Amino acid sequence: MKEYDGLVRIELTLNGEKRTAHVSPADTLLRALRENLGMTGTKLGCENGDCGACTLLVDGKPVKSCYTLAVDVDDKTITTIEGLVNTDVQQAFIEEYGFQCGYCTPGVILNAYALLEETFEPNPEETRTWMESNLCRCTGYEGIEKSVKRAAELKKRAER
Amino acid sequence: MIPFDFTYIRPQSSEEAVTAYRQAKEAGNAALYLSGGTEIVTMARDRKLTFDVLIDLKRLPECRGIDRDQGEIRFGSAVSLNDAQKYGNVPLLSMAAGAVADHSVRNSITVGGNIAGRLPYREAVLPFLLFDGTVEIAGPDGNRNVGVMEIFDKRLKLSAGEFLVALRVPESASESTGYYRRRQKDSRVDYPIMTLCMARHEDGIRAATSGVFGFPVRSRRAEKALSASGTPAERSRNAVEAFDGKVQSNMRGAADYRRALLLQAMEDGLRQLEG
């Protein structure tokens, strides 16, 4: 049985690197990443699990970090937006104008990335089901939808 | 972050989990079992819920996985709603689990957490009610298996120190496509104002609903009305009246509207199930 009380040391694989952090059980993963580990790409929005700005990947699955306890991911693999570099998804979002202010974008991109890792060519319903986890106040979602579609095309082309 | 300190415990067995709970109580501490955590963490952040000890059940081997076992399909209580939805062999559970919250949140919400949590909708319980499922419970007095209809009355009636280990349905549940309808006030990602699951069984038509009465419910009186003679419209009207409980009325939907949604859904369900 493992007990976490007071300030505790957790170990995780963050964007491919082994990292440690000292956190309290009361710290959410969102706060721990931004305030202890310097990963400010993950954004703080509603802190209620609604907006998706805090989305990142835990063991490859999109999860909202605002309701995830930092101690809960001790020994897990985390991917934040800082861990995605020159991916097809990011290229597609540039090509298709999938963002405006950019605040929701890290969460949107990570969710889209996870979708395309799981499903080779998602149909519109699958795309909608995944992407409705992220709210955007700027784009009206059409740019995001087109970007995900374009990302799937780029990925398909790259894997041929 | 959560604005108060607490101890987080990660047990490696049900016995350790129960012991941790007992020790917390003996020390005069408030203890809670944690599954997905989406409710607990968001409520704690606003101080709507406080505790001294959180006992995380997610990694207990007995709470994980989906298996076929002795004529039943067993869902560990820590199975995420997305995994339950993807499993696919219990179509009504796939539909019910796949409609809760949004896709990312469903990677965190667990079947057990949805059913044993504080939010009243508990939609994941509907197929387990419908197919006379059973639950495996661990607690201070040992483990027990109980019928869901026996232990669920608006919510799961667990004793202090008990927690949900797994839920089971008969394998025959996988042969039932059933009928499912859910209605929300605004977008798909919203709490339900009406969810209905129906299935055709050898003993007649079965129905379980959430959102209408403020809690999930399966009513044998309503099922008797649905299985009687008469047109689908007549039987549905009688069934809606036979449910125990007051149709709720709030900002999301007035009682008359919810009743009308349930009525229409039952009528359509009967037509679909009876061909």
Q: Does the beta-carbon distance from A4 to B9 stay under 8 Å?
A: yes
Residue B210's nearest CA partner among B147, B122, B133, B114 is: B122
At A71, the pLDDT band (50, 70, 90 cuts) reads very high
- Residue B214 reports pLDDT greater than 80: yes
Q: Which residue of A has its CA nearest to B4?
A: A26
How many Cβ atoms are within 10 Å of B250's Cβ, its own excluded?
A: 11
Integer Rg of chain B from CA = 19
Is B8 within 8 Å of A71 when comparing Cβ atoms? yes
> What pLDDT does A160 receive?
75
| Residue that the structure tokens 């009246």 belong to | B241
Q: 3-state DSSP call for residue B229?
A: coil
Mean pLDDT of A92-120: 97
What is the CB neighbour count within 10 angstroms for residue A1?
A: 13
> Domains plus CATH for chain A?
2-80 (3.10.20.30), 86-158 (1.10.150.120)
Q: What is the CA radius of gyration of chain A?
A: 16
pLDDT band at A63; cut points 50, 70, 90 = very high
Q: In this structure, what token pair is assigned to residue B10?
A: 């990660």
With beta carbons less than 8 A apart as the criterion, state whether B203 and B228 touch: no
> Predicted confidence band at A159 (pLDDT cuts at 50, 70, 90)?
confident
Cβ separation of A1 and B188 shorter than 8 Å? no
| B4 in contact with A, Cβ within 8 Å | yes
Longest dimension (CA), chain A: 51
Q: Whole-structure pTM over 0.90, yes or no?
A: yes
Residue type (1 letter), B218: R
What is the identity of the amino acid at B265?
A
Residue B157 is predicted with a pLDDT of 96
**pLDDT tens digits for B14-58?**
999 999 999 999 999 999 999 999 999 999 999 999 999 999 999
Would an 8 Å CB–CB cutoff place B41 in contact with chain A?
yes
DSSP, collapsed to helix, strand or coil, labels residue A20 as strand
Mean pLDDT of B59-67: 97
A32's tokens: 């721990």
Task: Provide DSSP, B154-203.
Answer: SEE-PPTT-EEEEEEEEGGGGG---EEEEEESSSSSS-EEEEEEEEEETT
Answer whether B15's CB lies under 8 Å from B8's CB. no
Position B1 scores a pLDDT of 86
**Tens digit of pLDDT for each residue in B4-14?**
999 999 999 99
| Distance of alpha carbon B77 from alpha carbon B65, whole angstroms | 9
Please judge whether A1 and B103 are an interchain contact, meaning their C-beta atoms are less than 8 angstroms apart: no
Q: Say yes or no: B203 contacts chain A, CB-CB below 8 A.
A: no
Q: What is the pLDDT of residue A21?
A: 96
| pLDDT tens digits, B176-198 | 879 999 999 989 999 999 999 99
- Name the token pair of B26: 């003996």
Sheet architecture: strand order including B31-34: A2-4, B7-10, B53-56, B31-34
The dihedral formed by the CA atoms of B37, B43, B44 and B49, expressed in degrees to the nearest 10: -110
Number of H helices, E strands in chain A: 5, 6
Q: Who contacts B122 (Cβ-Cβ below 8 Å, separation ≥6)?
A: B114, B115, B155, B210, B215, B216
Q: Residue B245: pLDDT band by 50, 70, 90 thresholds?
A: confident
Note the ipTM here: 0.96
pLDDT digits (tens, 9 = 90+) for A16-30: 999 999 999 999 999
What's the CA gap between B29 and B23, in Å, rounded?
Answer: 9
CB-CB under 8 Å, A62 with B8: no
Amino acid identity, position B38? T
Confidence class for position B230, pLDDT limits 50, 70, 90:
very high
Whole-number Å distance between alpha carbons of A138 and B90: 39
Helix (H) / strand (E) element for A113: namely: helix A105-118
- Does any CB of chain B come closer than 8 Å to the CB of residue A133? yes
Closest Cα in chain A, distance from residue B36 (Å): 9
Residue B52: per-residue pLDDT:
98
